[in-house]
């Protein structure tokens, strides 16, 4: 399978770590896409902060910090946060926020590192210590890992690496879009539980099948940077590609890596039976 063609915005680097954000196009407008952090849906904040507090978590590893939105929210709520990401184009926004807010409580101690999930335990060896209380991988980030070998081995390796960053009794919180819905209907549910921005004009969905198997979902994002001005220079578009995780397959993979059958799945932050067609699934699993 050609992982260069159709998987990224034309012109983005295709070598080394597959950083789909390397051309800076998505990074540049990411904060516009997700909306100002004050607009971040309250229900998301209540869910995440509530769950972490309920589980007694204090030290959090945000493995897909991107521009830092979740990390900042958690620092503001008094958590101790280590944030990593593979994309320097995304990280530079988090680094700038840390610098700008360095005099506020928590921000001076905020650790931000560049790291790749495939080599995570080596990349942040000195930071793991006796393990984090929670690892979070949110915003449909994990689905960026494709299945280059056809047996999901890299995805499993990465989940193992996440598990190794946890202390016994620690939790992994990880999410993915409702790919069952996308594969069955060809479009993503329109609602986005994380992003609350008026700038998103369209998200076009393509599904790439090989011999009857879905290999990739490609989302083309179309943004208008100024709602009142639709000139071409005020438009931005970028493409991101994802591995389409079926809920049951993802559930089993998670349980295999964590060697246990017990884990909770939420649909759009609610118990699964309360949501008809969730846009996102969020899993929480404990390290024994
Ligand atoms: C969709 S963004 C989400 C960022 C953030 N959690 C949010 O909700 O705004 C996905 C992030 O995952 C990161 N990522 C993808 N593959 C990675 C890898 N192999 N190692 C580390 N980070 C990776 C990307 O660089 C990107 O910043």
Give the per-residue SS3 of the chain: CCCCCCCCCCCCCCCCCCCCCCCCHHHHHHHHHHCCHHHCCHHHHHHHHHHHHHCCCCEEEECCCCCCHHHHHHHHCCCEEEEEECCHHHHHHHHHHHHHCCCCCCCCCCEEEECCHHHHHHHCHHHHCCCEEEEEECCCCHHHCCCCCCCCHHHHHHHHHHHHCEEEEEEEEEEEECHHHHHHHCCCCCCCCCCCCCCEEEEEEEEEEECCEEEEEEEEEEEECCCCCCCHHHEEEEEEEECCCCHHHHHHHHHHHCCCCCCEEEECCEEHHHCCCCCEEEEEEECC
* Catalytic residue selected from 8, 21, 98, 146: 21
64 assigned binding-site residue:
yes
* Residue 137 CA, closest ligand 1 atom number: 6
Ligand 1 pocket: which of 16, 64, 86 to mutate (most atoms within 8 A of CB)? 64
Q: What is the pTM of this model?
A: 0.89
pLDDT tens, N- to C-terminus, the chain (288 residues) = 444 445 566 666 554 446 777 777 777 777 666 665 565 678 889 999 999 999 999 999 999 999 999 999 999 999 999 999 999 999 999 999 999 999 998 999 999 999 999 999 999 999 999 999 999 999 999 999 999 899 999 999 999 999 999 999 999 999 999 999 999 998 877 666 676 566 777 888 999 999 999 999 998 888 887 767 767 777 788 888 999 999 999 999 999 999 998 899 999 999 999 999 999 999 999 999
């Amino acid at each position: 399978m050609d992982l260069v063609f159709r998987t990224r915005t034309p012109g983005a680097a295709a070598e080394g770590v597959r950083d789909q954000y390397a051309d800076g196009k998505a990074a540049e407008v990411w904060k516009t896409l997700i909306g100002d952090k004050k607009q971040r849906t309250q229900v998301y904040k209540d869910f995440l902060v509530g769950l972490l507090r309920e589980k007694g978590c204090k030290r959090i590893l945000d493995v897909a910090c991107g521009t830092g939105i979740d990390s900042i929210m958690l620092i503001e709520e008094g958590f101790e946060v280590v944030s990593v990401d593979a994309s320097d184009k995304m990280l530079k926004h988090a680094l700038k926020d840390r610098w700008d807010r360095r005099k506020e409580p928590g921000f001076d101690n905020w650790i931000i590192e560049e790291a790749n999930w495939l080599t995570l335990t080596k990349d942040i060896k000195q930071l793991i210590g006796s393990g984090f209380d929670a690892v979070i991988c949110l915003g449909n980030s994990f689905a960026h890992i494709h299945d280059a070998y056809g047996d999901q081995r890299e995805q499993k390796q990465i989940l193992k690496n996440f598990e190794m960053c946890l202390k016994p009794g620690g939790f992994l919180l990880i999410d993915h879009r409702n790919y069952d819905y996308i594969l069955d209907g060809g479009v993503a549910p329109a609602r986005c539980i994380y992003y609350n921005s008026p700038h998103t004009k369209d998200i076009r969905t393509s599904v790439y099948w090989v011999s009857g198997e879905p290999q990739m979902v490609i989302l083309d994002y179309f943004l208008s940077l100024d709602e009142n001005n639709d000139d071409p220079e005020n438009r931005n578009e970028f493409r991101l590609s994802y591995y389409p995780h079926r809920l049951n397959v993802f559930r089993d993979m998670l349980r295999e890596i964590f060697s246990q059958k017990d884990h909770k799945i939420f649909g759009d932050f609610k118990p699964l039976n309360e949501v008809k067609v969730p846009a996102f699934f969020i899993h929480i699993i404990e390290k024994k």
